[in-house]
Amino acid sequence: MTSVQGTAVDVPTEDGVADAYLARPGDGSPRPGVLLYQDAFGLRPHLRAMADRLAGAGYTVLVPNVFYRHGRAPVVELPEFIDPSARPRIFEKLRPVMRSLTDDLAMRDAGAFLRRLDESPLVADGPVAITGYCMGARLALLTADAHPDRVAAVGGFHGGQLATDAPDSPHLVADRIRAELYFGHADDDPSLPPQQIERLEEALTAAGVRHRCEVYEGAHHGFTQADTAAYHEGAAERHWAALLDLLKRTF
């Protein structure tokens, strides 16, 4: 793993300025770009550490605060370790923030985030990849639909509500996806029950999308997030292996 440099950056959007974190190999040479979409808890030390790990593997990684309309990160105060007793209080504050981020707003922002990668001398020419966690898996899938020429690969981990009965369910964009997709689902995840996993698989297969969907047995929703009680070390390392393999095939 190479040395890594990480910096706070601001990303101009149509609605203001999103604070973000940019991690890249320390040699300063242009590398393939990766957009990392947050979980609900947002941009914080753990996500910066995840970006650093990706950068150490040879990528330039942008982690935007998708809730920037409500302030710079952290949008709500977070403990160093998010245990079950803290979650209800945190989500009481986060739910209205999450609901305010409509798909239209998120995709308007996605264009700005991709432009930031395009314009950076630290990012190699060509398409980018996206990895997303929890709500970020939905954002990643929608971004691949909105920017099919810019997104070559998507990794989505413990994503929720990916194939619902709603008319705006993310799985309905499958026929417009050109990227290769990998999904690592949490086992026994209330936000993505077996019928949704099956519906997502069927939609991707019917659309001819290159994809692989796997259920990580014994891993709960949020299994990659080491600063939460949901963390599962074995599943998290499996996620890293799958993600890096996807990126290696992409670039």
Pick from 75, 79, 147: nearest CA to 113 = 147
Q: How far is 145 from 33, CA to CA, in rounded Å?
A: 18
User: Does the predicted TM-score (pTM) go above 0.75?
Assistant: yes
The CA-CA-CA angle for residues 227, 230, 234, to 5°, reads 95
Q: How far is 55 from 2, CA to CA, in rounded Å?
A: 8
C-beta of residue 133 within 8 angstroms of C-beta of residue 226: no
pLDDT for residue 1? 64
C-beta of residue 170 within 8 angstroms of C-beta of residue 163: yes
pLDDT for residue 188? 86
Pick from 224, 149, 160, 155: nearest CA to 188 = 160
Out of 3.30.70.260, 3.40.50.1820, 3.30.1130.10, 2.40.50.140, the CATH code matching 4-250 is 3.40.50.1820
Q: How far is 155 from 129, CA to CA, in rounded Å?
A: 8
> Within the chain, which residues score under 70 in pLDDT?
1
pLDDT in tens, 44-59: 999 999 999 999 999 9
pLDDT in tens, 98-146: 999 999 999 999 999 999 999 999 999 999 999 999 999 999 999 999 9
Q: How far is 161 from 78, CA to CA, in rounded Å?
A: 24
Beta partners for 31? 123
**Residues contacting residue 12 through CB under 8 Å, at least 6 positions apart:** 112
Q: How far is 251 from 249, CA to CA, in rounded Å?
A: 6
135-146 and 103-119 helices, crossing angle to 10°:
70
The tokens of 22 are what? 């940019």
pLDDT for residue 206? 98
pLDDT for residue 2? 79
